[in-house]
Amino acid sequence: MTQSRDIFQAIADPTRRQIIGMLANKSLNVNTIASEFDITRQAVSLHVQYLHDCGLIEIKKQGRERYCEANLAKLKEVTDWVEQYRNHWDNKFDALETYLDKIQKK
């Protein structure tokens, strides 16, 4: 049975968020990414693989090295989900503002 990788679970982990941040501006190899953490290279590789499985990063081989690049467009799924709640609360606050204006004018 294959496990489905969830983008929300991917960004819930601080290490994976930091990896995405590192890759947002430039392509890095796995060793360079691993050097920034106080965990094993294997643990970093598992985080990288999780991000790859979610489509948040792409891995390209150049010789013996594996370079990772962020696929920030994939975060649109998260943005869309957050946006629906932002719109909901914007509407609630607008209604509250209208109500407060109304009772202050009485």
Per-residue pLDDT reduced to its tens digit, 45-101: 999 999 999 999 999 999 999 999 999 999 999 999 999 999 999 999 999 999 999
pLDDT attached to residue 4: 66
Residue 68: exposure state from Cβ atoms within 10 A (0-12, 13-18, ≥19): buried
Average pLDDT for residues 2-28, to the nearest whole number?
90
Structural domain boundaries in the chain: 7-104
- Residue 68 neighbours by CB under 8 Å, 6+ apart: 19, 23, 27, 28, 29, 30, 33, 48, 51, 52, 57, 58, 59, 60
Name the pLDDT band for 1 (thresholds 50, 70, 90). Answer: very low
**Confidence class of residue 3 from pLDDT cuts 50, 70 and 90?**
low
Amino acid in the structure at residue 15: T
What pLDDT, on a 0 to 100 scale, did the predictor assign at position 73? 93
Q: What is the CATH number of domain 7-104?
A: 1.10.10.10
Residue 51 is predicted with a pLDDT of: 97
Written as six digits, the tokens of 15 are 């290490």
